[in-house]
Amino acid sequence: MSSATVAPARQLVVALMFAGTALIWGSSFLFMKVALEGVSFGQIAWSRAVLGAIVLGLVVLFGRHVLPREPIVWLHFLVIGVTNCTIPHLLFAWAEQHVSSSLASIYNSFTPIATAILVALVYRVEKLSAQQFVGVVVGIAGAVVIIAPWGVEALTGDLWGQLACLGAAVSYGVAIGYTRTFIANRPISGTSVAFMNIGMAALVMLVLTPFVALGPVDLSLPVAGSLLLLGGLGTGLAYIWSIGVMRAWGATASSTVTYLMPVVGIALGVGLLGETLTWNQPLGAVLVLGGILLAQNRLQRRRVRPADVVAAPSVD
């Protein structure tokens, strides 16, 4: 078979993996909302970490991927697993007891803004240009518009739920900056990075089992299906797809999945769960996405750095 025939077929596969990743990650907010009907928020976070680690572990085993041997690297991945999975997964699952899945998906898109702030001010691995600074300001303004402080009269569950979503996005930013600083320049395959990330999070969750996973369970078919899809696909297989897309398209193009996730999340929340959005929420989402375009220099062409390929944006 000629290369001219193989290339278009390969591009189609990559495009399908990209669409599948956007659909699965965007659906994760719906899965959490449905799963809350039968299990606790802690059991959701526990299940997705453990199931995701099993799926990725099988990929590593059968693909014969090499894991890092240095103890310090394992310690780095412990930090990444906690900040990229344990904390945000717990926060998002808890938050969806108080906010809609649509709103949670919008807050997830704040991750690149939080990342831009942290890598510049905390990790100091990048400097913000004037355009990026404007993007950060616009993104923060978008988050404020979504929260709508002018309508907050008390510290209600809705407000705490929104702050938990925002905290989850910031935690993702912490993980991305940490990965760029301590992991990006090490010769570790993308699949091994994904497994170490989810695997260490699963280890932490196993240790926390008495505190987060014990309790009554009502495993109806929708609840069980949501947990399996959330863990096996969202925290497992989708990571492998995202790595395949990154290798084919590069980090800049592949990370545009960030823009599609809130679209999928909102469509599913409104279409399947009958959720509604107030006028400020989609407006704030547009501001956040506009801030991402500026903060990531998407309005001008740039070279992709090796660090970007390893440390692609984390998403729920």
User: Tens digit of pLDDT for each residue in 186-242?
Assistant: 888 888 888 999 999 999 999 999 999 888 889 899 999 999 999 988 888 887 888
Average confidence score pLDDT of the chain: 83
- Residue 309: band (very low, low, confident or very high) from pLDDT cuts 50, 70, 90: very low
**Range in 71-80, 122-131, 133-142 with the lowest mean pLDDT:** 122-131
Instruction: Give the relative orientation of helices 71-81 and 157-182 as an angle to the nearest 10 degrees.
Output: 160
Closest CA to 258 of 303, 301, 288, 284: 288
CA distance 207 to 32: 22
pLDDT reading at 53 higher than 70: yes
Q: What is the mean pLDDT of residues 129-137?
A: 84
More confident residue, 309 or 57: 57
C-alpha closest to that of 314 among 47, 129, 82, 123: 82
